[in-house]
Amino acid sequence: MTYQISGRTKVCGLIADPIEHAMSPVMHNAAFKKLGLDYVYVPFKVKPEDLKEAISGLRALNVRGFNITIPHKMAALPFLDKIDPIARKIGAVNTVVNDAGILTGYNTDASGFLQSLLEEGIEPGGKHIVILGAGGSAKAIAFILAERGARLVILNRHPERAEELAHRISPDVKAGALTGENLAEVLKNADIIINTTSVGMVPDINATPVPAHLISSKLLVVDIVYNPIETRLLKEAKAAGARTIDGVAMLVWQGAQGFEKWTGVKAPVTVMREEVLKGLRHEK
């Protein structure tokens, strides 16, 4: 098939800030091309103060659907017509479907993250898990892990946000400030640590949310940052003998679910993963 944009082409997109290093356009456009679908995926850099107008504009332009990421996952909720019950409970959306001007928000981060663990043979139920961050992705991940029966501790630079999130999920979820002292204490009994913050993301690739000396070989270390593929946190975890999972898996699985909501067609997950990895390696 010759890939050509026309007046019949359906448009999907991404709103974020920053957006320059996003891999979703590469991933989705490769998937559309692979399946011969007349769709195109476009990135839109949207500042927080312009979010309401941007979403209204996407509706007016009849964009079929769009993803939402940092820093808009929670802020976008009031500007949508419908919120899926799971996304409402989480308090964040990352995927929007436009049906004849009705915008419905979903959260595919939760199920996408869980799938990234399960495909590695990791069942989170019963595990002691430390989550770093309390933003939109942290909300989704904490929600799905709590439902699965994990024992959670949430640490955030602003502890009141961690406490608010913990309170929303369960009285059994613990929360506190993201400090070296607290990390040292909670990691003593942890099985898994998950970084949901943007620390270590391009361009600040030398940053890490966890000092290397606190990482032990018994830990599974997960970083949902996918650019770079191997963050400083993951490099230092590997050096300590810990098992690691990078952010590409979650990106691909949550993206695949959004793709299926927009198109009604099963996503070519292998192609999507290959294109993301190719794009990230090309950037190096």
Out of 10, 52, 73, 278, the active site residue is 73
* Residue 168, burial from CB neighbour count under 10 angstroms (0-12, 13-18, 19+): middle
Answer left, alpha or beta for residue 36, where phi above 0 means left and psi between -120 and 50 means alpha.
left
What is residue 75's three-state secondary structure? coil
| Cα 213 from Cα 251, distance rounded (Å) | 29
The DSSP string of 165-182 is: HHHHH-TT-EEEE--HHH
- For 116, phi then psi, to 5°, come to -65, -30
The CA radius of gyration of the chain, in Å to the nearest whole number, is 19
Active site residue 73: yes
- Crossing angle of the two packed helices 269-283 and 248-263, in degrees rounded to 10: 130
Enter the DSSP assignment of 15: E
Question: Catalytic positions, please?
Answer: 73
